[in-house]
């Protein structure tokens, strides 16, 4: 591949919409990134229809990865500054066609590495989500098991309460039966005592009559 063909591959321009679609962000987000990190892009993003180079796309992917990792704008700038200085320095030096070719190949090589890092980050995030889902499933399993255990304990408690109610009912029945028997015995005893009293009175009358007969 000659220098001109290499330059077309490396410096192929991407439209605003293509970059936003490639990064899977909204156009408004890309405009904000242009304002916040435009100084680190080779392309002039202040124009209405900027066209991004491969180096710009690689830089924006790096920005996206750093922001998703929790970096603030200053930390992102610190990460991008060395690369931007190298690019600026290279632009201010007169290079031979061979040196330009090597520089462009090196710049083009940034994109696969950044994409690889991004995919690795996505994979790690997905693994974290899977681990979280596994943990949630374990928690749900524990809750369900506790619920089953609680239902079983409630069933046992209800059975014990029913057993106590049956025992109490049986005790009350026995007490009523015993009370009825005692009352029956008391009535029989009262009748017996009444009969004995009648017999005693009769005996007393007989004795009195005998005594009157003796003295008459």
- The DSSP secondary structure of 151-199, one letter per residue, reads HHHHHHHHHHHHHHHHHHHHHHHHHHHHHHHHHHHHHHHHHHHHHHHHH
Domains in the chain, number? 1
Indicate whether 61 belongs to any domain: yes
Q: Tell me if the pTM is above 0.95.
A: no
Sign of CA dihedral 27, 28, 29, 34: positive
Contacting residues for 22 by C-beta, under 8 A, at least 6 apart: 14, 57
Of residues 103 and 21, more confidently modeled: 21
Indicate whether 155 belongs to any domain: no
Q: Residue 90: give the domain boundaries.
A: 3-127
Above 50 in pLDDT, residue 5?
no
Indicate whether 204 belongs to any domain: no
Indicate whether 26 belongs to any domain: yes
Of residues 75 and 90, more confidently modeled: 75
Look at residues 202, 203, 198 and name the one whose alpha carbon lies nearest to residue 190. Answer: 198
Q: How large is the average pLDDT for residues 190-213?
A: 85
């Amino acid at each position: 591949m000659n220098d001109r063909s290499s330059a077309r591959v490396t410096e192929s321009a991407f439209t605003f919409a293509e970059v936003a679609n490639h990064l899977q962000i909204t156009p408004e987000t890309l405009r904000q990134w242009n304002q916040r990190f435009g100084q680190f892009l080779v392309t002039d993003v202040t124009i209405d229809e900027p066209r991004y180079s491969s180096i710009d796309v690689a830089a924006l992917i790096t920005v996206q990865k750093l922001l998703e990792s929790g970096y603030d704008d200053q930390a992102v700038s610190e990460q991008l500054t060395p690369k931007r200085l190298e690019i600026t320095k290279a632009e201010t030096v007169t290079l031979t066609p061979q040196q330009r070719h090597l520089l462009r190949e090196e710049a083009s090589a940034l994109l696969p590495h950044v994409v690889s890092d991004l995919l690795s980050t996505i994979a790690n995030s997905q693994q974290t989500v899977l681990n979280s889902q596994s943990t949630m499933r374990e928690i749900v399993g524990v809750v369900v098991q506790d619920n089953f255990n609680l239902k079983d304990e409630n069933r046992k408690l209800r059975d014990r309460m029913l057993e106590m109610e049956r025992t109490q009912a049986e005790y009350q029945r026995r007490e009523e039966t015993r009370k009825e028997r005692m009352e029956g015995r008391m009535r029989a005893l009262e009748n017996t005592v009444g009969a004995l009293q009648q017999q005693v009175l009769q005996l007393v009358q007989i004795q009195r009559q005998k005594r009157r007969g003796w003295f008459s």
